[in-house]
Structure 1
Amino acid sequence: MTRHLVVADHIITGFDASGVPQIVEEGAILIDGDRVAGIGAAKALRLAHPNLPETGGAGYVAIPGLINAHHHVGLTPFQMGARDQPLELWFPERLAMRDVDPRLDTLYSAFEMIASGVTTVQHLHSRAPGDTDAVLARADTIIGAYRELGMRASYSFALRDQNRMIYAADEEFVAALPPALQKPTAEYLAGFGLPLSEQIAVFHALRERWADDPLIGIQIAPSNLHWLSDAALESAARMAQDTGAPLHMHLLETPYQQEYAHRRTGGSALEHVDSFGLIGPQLTIGHGVWMTPDDIALVAERGACLCHNCSSNLRLKSGTADLNAFLASGVPVGLGIDEAGINDDRDMLQEMRLALTLHRPPGHDAPSPDAGDILRMATEHGAATTPFADRIGRLAPGQMADIVLLDWRAVTYPWQDPAMPLIDVLVRRAKAGAVASVMIGGRTVYRDGNFIGVDRGETLKELALELARPDTPTEANLRRLSKDLLEPVRRYYSGWCKDLQGH
């Protein structure tokens, strides 16, 4: 279907410079190939382009495809045996997670994202054991799974060259363990010891392989300050300067990370990262929960972006980011579901509702985000965190035709006061069941609960069958090691962040 029309009662095309939603009533979108060719009154577009196939019609609302600006894995860590722990304790907890076929794993979460209106995902691949060939093979499988569904994906393999379990050297951690735990822990950590030079080579190889695919972008992911030596930070900055690729970096997710930065640098994590030239329009900071007002001002001054991961911050006891301060600063803020949402899934409409509701401090005049702020985070500002920044997140001529059609009766049934603003109703009431169809690059990938070209039911059966097997000996050993390491990791942080309640 090269040229066709998407018709809706209301088309939310984006926001003006002041954040006011732009809505076309009784409109249509002319699609030519993978891009939007025109938007206007449905009657006028039908007359100008007669006999074109149509999608949608009366009773639908069209919005730009949503962007999950921070994502890691398919099956959730909780599903795979890792309880919700404070982040630093979650690292050993995750050793209990079994290995899963990366194609099936990726499809699992992609199904959930697309069904809730997500058309673009920022996939941050945090951990992959093995040598360069093994890492590249896994990356290609993950990217291929998104490609199989027709989903737009920005992929990055996280750079890290130190401190893989605690915020100190691996050797220091292993040496402090009881003798019986030292050998298995050292062997486990060695499996993730790909040299920095080879991690950089992975980025360049993937960037070359996928350069001509309009659905795929490759980013740089300097993982976090505690995982990166100064040499690695310098390398990440050089990679960005040489290639122009954007970066996405976890930073100040927890108070322990803030304390680590102070111990390492004597000051602010943001100032240290900025000293390498990393903070600028090409950088997105993931989380930023423990940024100070000076940190936020620096991000705004440099023109960087932020990504707010509301559910993750709650589930891992990381704290509540000051979203209202982020928005007041004028920094573009995207929205990410991270490892999993509040209901252990990847429902972007639900994540939007949570972000809208959580950041409402007491007081009649206290600032709080409105529905437009949240929708903009999930579209235009989420787009700014990806390599597709100038091509997605809005509906306008020349933009990629990433479009979600919502069945408005399903959103509002059995009743909704018609005086309530459209955007408010959408963010507050739209559920995944109201997503009638999802189009990515002009191609419908999801319609009426079904994925085009991939059988969700059969894929999930295959996944269930694979996971029904007993643990392998390696998995069983890692389960035991996970339990044994939890208390040593907890003891390491004793005395950190003493002002935290209950610490």
Structure 2
Amino acid sequence: MTDIRLIRGRWVFTGETTLTDGAIAIQDDTIVAVDSWATLQATYPQAAVIGSDKFAVMPGLINAHHHSNGVPNSLQGVDDDFLELWLFANIGLRSQDPKLKTLLSIAQLLQSGVTSVVDVVSLGGTAQDCRDNLEGRLAAYGQAGMRVALTPGMRYENMFVHGEDDAFLTSLPEDLRQRLQTLVPMAQPLSRTAHIELITDFVQQYQTHPHIDIWFGPPGPQWVGDELLVQMVDAAERLDTHVQTHALESFYEKLMGPRLYGQSVIAHLNQLGVLSPRFSIAHGVWLTPADIEILATTGAAVSHNPSSNLRLRAGMAPLTAMLSGGATVGLGMDGTTLGDDEDMFAEMRLAARLQRSPQINSPAPGYGDIFQLATTGSAKLMGKEQQLGKLAPGYRADVVLVNCDRITWPWVSPEANPLHVMLMRAKATDVDTVLVNGKVVLKSGTPTGFDLQAVGQTIAEQLAAAPNRDNYRALAAELIPYLSNWYAQWEVPPLSPYAAFNSRT
């Protein structure tokens, strides 16, 4: 069988066990065998070999929630803040070409060993504007060869504050309100019906694509309204695709539930009948035990995004409780990692360490649990648990080779757990080779499908030539104190944290 290729590693992390001096055999886009290097070499003596005993081999990592930001906010002068304030500050960002910004983001993901991503896209403008945006992003994924669930959506309600736009606008000084209404669209040109038709068209167009799926991406329940959300979920069911939305990210989204729905956001979604294994939420920082039970019962999943939650002062999600409660949980980077580097290894470390409360006998996930979040957990969130997240016969050949030289220098004990060593010490810069569907999409740390340096240069030139957004930045600077004061007046109920990390007494 001359089309068989072998991928060899010092360590092979299958997702269920660790092989020392192991290998996998792949044929086209599929894994056909996993065994010792000696066995597979003897079985396929003519096979081409990728890797050697200097590499660790692992399943492709899966980023369960992402935004392809291209040049990040930090380089565009928009600093982190509370979610609600930060979202409005983003009106000061310069526009970037959809294909180029997506290629820039894809490069960082591939260089971090990520082979699959749920990429959430914020749309706006006319139907043609939205189509051009999506086609540019899809062209990027097609060219790069990366696996994606592209998840577009747009806001239709509550453009400024959760559930109370009219009252908020009335509270503003007249001149500020007029400038706000002049510079910021109050309504979308694309109707709700046309929006569903647009996404449906893309879903159908890509239904047989080998590595691109299209999902519905309502940005948040409060931003689309109940009727449209139900329509999206119904369409997803009919088209056999998925839905992902943001929910319970910020503290004020938690407070919003009783104010807007008379119950928690998750209880409201459950009452609407939208929760199922094809539905996932991003963040879930403020989930209650009752919310977690609903998610476990319905099969709806959560993308845990620890870096983003810290950067936007959202809080720390109850990951330990979600896992022990039986919820499906994946790991996402949200395009907003602590170091702006989209390093999935750093994200796994952060996810593990944030849950380690100071009291002895308090439970916390181990490295094996966290590795599962970034592989099998995220695969289940994507509805691909029988295809992705493991190195096993019949699974897709999404494979990552990590150079172990720096990780194991100057010496590693034979008693050390190889997976723990990898997750403790590996960085994105150690990733050497990445395959998606059996195709090499990253070699020697460089994407094979496009010229990354040329992409960076072109997008830099475009941004430098783009008109400044001074009017919008000035508007944000003037409006944000009013936003902050609005939320500061919301009544805060007694809180009961899942874990105590310090104490006043």
| TM-score, normalised relative to structure 1 | 0.93
Q: Is 2:263 the counterpart of 1:267?
A: yes
* Paired residues of 2:59 and 2:389 also in contact (CA < 8 A): yes
Q: Is 2:336 the counterpart of 1:340?
A: yes
One-letter identity of the residue aligned with 2:177 = Q
Q: Which residue of 1 aligns with 2:15?
A: 14
Percent of residue pairs bearing the same amino acid type: 32
Q: Which residue of 2 aligns with 1:50?
A: 45
Cα deviation digits, residues 453-483 of structure 1 (max 9, x gap):
31112221222222223634xx232222221
One-letter identity of the residue aligned with 2:48 = P
Change (3 A) 1:146 1:496: same
Q: Which residue of 1 aligns with 2:472?
A: 478
Q: Which residue of 1 aligns with 2:425?
A: 429
Q: Is 2:35 the counterpart of 1:34?
A: no
Q: Offset at 1:337?
A: 0.5
Q: Is 2:19 the counterpart of 1:24?
A: yes
- Aligned equivalents of 1:9 and 1:377: distance in 2? 23
- Aligned equivalents of 1:134 and 1:2: distance in 2? 43
- Aligned equivalents of 1:150 and 1:206: distance in 2? 18
RMSD: 1.9
1:490 to 469, 484, 490: 484
- Aligned equivalents of 1:387 and 1:460: distance in 2? 33
- Aligned equivalents of 2:444 and 2:494: distance in 1? 48
Q: Partner of 1:78: helix, strand, or coil?
A: helix
Q: Partner of 1:275: helix, strand, or coil?
A: helix
2:133 to 133, 138, 163: 138
Q: Partner of 1:168: helix, strand, or coil?
A: coil
Cα deviation digits, residues 427-471 of structure 1 (max 9, x gap):
111111211211111011111122213111222122222222363
Q: Which residue of 2 aligns with 1:447?
A: 443
One-letter identity of the residue aligned with 1:23 = T
1:152 to 134, 147, 151: 147
Q: Partner of 1:90: helix, strand, or coil?
A: helix
- Aligned equivalents of 1:351 and 1:495: distance in 2? 34
- Aligned equivalents of 2:38 and 2:403: distance in 1? 21
Q: Name the count of aligned residue pairs.
A: 492
- Aligned equivalents of 1:454 and 1:290: distance in 2? 40
Q: Is 2:401 the counterpart of 1:397?
A: no
Cα deviation digits, residues 174-217 of structure 1 (max 9, x gap):
44333323344234224645321122112101112222211101
Change (3 A) 1:193 1:354: farther
One-letter identity of the residue aligned with 1:39 = V
Cα deviation digits, residues 236-259 of structure 1 (max 9, x gap):
231232122122121111121111
Q: Offset at 1:299?
A: 0.9
1:222 to 218, 236, 257: 218
Change (3 A) 1:263 1:3: same
Q: Partner of 2:24: helix, strand, or coil?
A: strand
| Residues 117-128 of structure 1 aligned to structure 2 (within 5 Å) | 117-125=113-121, 127-128=122-123
Q: Partner of 1:365: helix, strand, or coil?
A: coil
* Paired residues of 2:116 and 2:148 also in contact (CA < 8 A): yes
| Residues 279-298 of structure 1 aligned to structure 2 (within 5 Å) | 279-298=275-294
Q: Which residue of 1 aligns with 2:460?
A: 464
Q: Partner of 2:465: helix, strand, or coil?
A: coil
| Residues 169-318 of structure 1 aligned to structure 2 (within 5 Å) | 170-187=165-182, 188-190=184-186, 192-318=188-314
* Paired residues of 1:161 and 1:193 also in contact (CA < 8 A): no
* Paired residues of 1:5 and 1:30 also in contact (CA < 8 A): yes
Change (3 A) 1:373 1:103: same
Q: Partner of 1:79: helix, strand, or coil?
A: helix
- Aligned equivalents of 1:312 and 1:109: distance in 2? 16
Q: Offset at 1:283?
A: 1.6
Q: Offset at 1:41?
A: 2.1
